[in-house]
Amino acid sequence: MKIALGGTGAFATKHLDGIANIDGAEVVSVFGRTPDRTEAYAAEHDIAHWATELDDVLANDEVEAVILATPTQMHAAQAIACMEAGKHVEVEIPLADTLADAEAVLATQERTGLTCMVGHTRRFNPSHQWVHNKIQAGDFNIQQMDVQTYFFRRTNSNAKGEARSWTDHLLWHHAAHTVDLFAYQTGGEIVAANVLEGPHHPDLGIAMDMSIQMKTSVGAILTLSLSFNNDGPLGTFFRYIGDTGTYLARYDDLITGRDEVIDVSQVAVSMNGIELQDREFISAINEGREPNSSVQQVMSCYEWLHKLEQQLEN
């Protein structure tokens, strides 16, 4: 599988690291915004071809699939361009920052029949897979998910602390992880949702704090707190409160409500959620099947993000 990588930031590197562990997969091209940085990134990671325009990558017949770890505002248009050029595409979360753009990606996928997968990594983290397997076996039913997504990001910077050329968003990016996971894990459809936001940053123009409540058709509820103002441990902390136990997940780690460590090392072939996500993308292409976290499967998430945005605007 010959893959092109979009982006040269922190998440592009996470995908490179994951793909390096997948037999039969190779990154043969990378594109970024500036020539100097992109050329240096390609040299550092031994990638044969680099470009600053997506069109140059798509013109390469060797490229079979593209992974987009580019700025959020580019995701939808770039995903559509990839499929129009006959390339399978994996889009980092979020798929888009408007419902209309997300729907346009879905329409293109349905017309072309190509694989289009969205990077909802929480579906693939071994910690969340362990909980999902327990639910599927009938041994655990979620009553409530209590989730905290916290960063200290009062300047426009990425996960490496480097300056960003675009602005991140608590609702369309960070809430998307949990909104999708909530429906996926509970096995129901979201039927109700509320949102509140705190003051907007004077320069970035975005809410720095947000609170979301949701309920699914099976009765489970969600409480999600998000902040760019939190000066403390960073990341997302999931508490699953169920009928037979309580579990706390952070990325690929899992403990019980009594702080007992759960070994999730045998859940999948890797402990790296991004690698497992990329494995699913490549396997789905090779097997000609719909991937977990396909654009079809995650559309409900973006429909609800749109409804929440409308609540805030009104």
List the domains of the chain with CATH numbers.
Answer: 2-120+274-294 (3.40.50.720), 122-256+300-313 (3.30.360.10)
Tell me the C-alpha distance between 70 and 112, whole Å.
22
Give me the pLDDT at residue 154, please: 62
Angle 10-19/273-287 helices, nearest 10 degrees?
60
What mean pLDDT do residues 99-126 have?
98
Q: What is the pTM of this model?
A: 0.93
Per-residue pLDDT tens for 39-78?
A: 999 999 999 999 999 999 999 999 999 999 999 999 999 9
Give me the pLDDT at residue 234, please: 82
pLDDT at 167 over 60: no
Nearest to 119 by CA among 80, 96, 91: 91
pLDDT at 6 over 70: yes
pLDDT at 168 over 80: no
Residue with the two structure tokens 């505002």: 73
> Average pLDDT over the chain, rounded to whole?
94
pLDDT at 135 over 70: yes
Phi-psi region of 4 (alpha: psi -120 to 50; beta: other; left: phi over 0): beta
Number of helices followed by number of strands (H, E) in the chain? 9, 13
pLDDT at 111 over 60: yes
Nearest to 96 by CA among 115, 65, 70: 70
The percent of residues in the chain predicted with pLDDT above 90, rounded, is 88
Give me the pLDDT at residue 293, please: 98
What mean pLDDT do residues 85-110 have?
97
